[in-house]
Amino acid sequence: MTHAVAGHGWSSWPAPAKLNLFLRITGRRTDGYHALQTVFRLLDWGDEIRLRPRDDGRVLRHGMGASGVAEADDLAVRAAKLLQKSANIAKGLDIIVEKNIPTGGGFGGGSSDAATVLVAANALWSCGYAIDALAELGTALGADVPVFIRGHNAWAEGVGEVLTPIDLPDAWYVLVDPGVHAATAELFQAFELTRNAAPATIADFVSGKPLGNAFEPVLRRREPAVDAVFEALARIGSPRLTGSGSGCFVEFADRESAEAALATLPQGLKAWLAAGAARSPLLDALDANRLQGRRQEAQGTRF
């Protein structure tokens, strides 16, 4: 739920992380981008975005935001300015990004931050944009932004923006950040990257057919830290890479199994637990904001 923080006028909004349960590259498009297939799994864990509308039209980031990212390049700031321009809004926004999602890990932190700002600012500024319109606007910020805006687990194609909602079973995940910032552009140019995998189907995924991640063998050869994490995680299950980042994970059916596995991992690994989400916590926050607004309107009519 949204709640007042850091003084009057602030509200807090979740920016959940994601996992790619597999990732295949099936070819190159006429626009030069690679054609992908993946399943996005949303997590009940991520960053927290604090927002406060301003009357002077300025969009300001307070604090450092994403580590090492200049304010002008911060996707959260860019998202606010994009919506402001698109909707011709005179209001501004104060932004605080509380980072929990590692940068460069493939957990979708920047894209999720941008999506949360678009969804929340749309509500706070009363822009009136429908989710479809916000998702289309979000593609200008990144191919992963629409899935966070729509807020549902999805089978994805195109460059990741063509989404088909998919139901996924409850699951818990052991996540590990190897501490490597994977450069997506460089990985896509790697000569050893498989770019012509046979297209998979949703039925392939549902049946449990191993579909893999095209970037896994590339990163494991290039980054000893990533390979070491895979070796450690192989002792507790079947490790996978998420997206084109360095983040690794193992899936478990329940929390107890995940906790037991986490306890056996070597000291020194940056590892933690997260639950899969059937629905983005951002949508829950949006519902709570709307309910609060209706209550305030109802109270206003009583006087």
Residues designated catalytic: 18, 144
Rounded to whole angstroms, how far apart are CA atoms 129 and 259? 41
Q: CA of 11: how far to CAs of 1, 5, 17, 43, 94, in Å?
A: 9, 6, 20, 21, 10
Rounded to whole angstroms, how far apart are CA atoms 2 and 129? 20
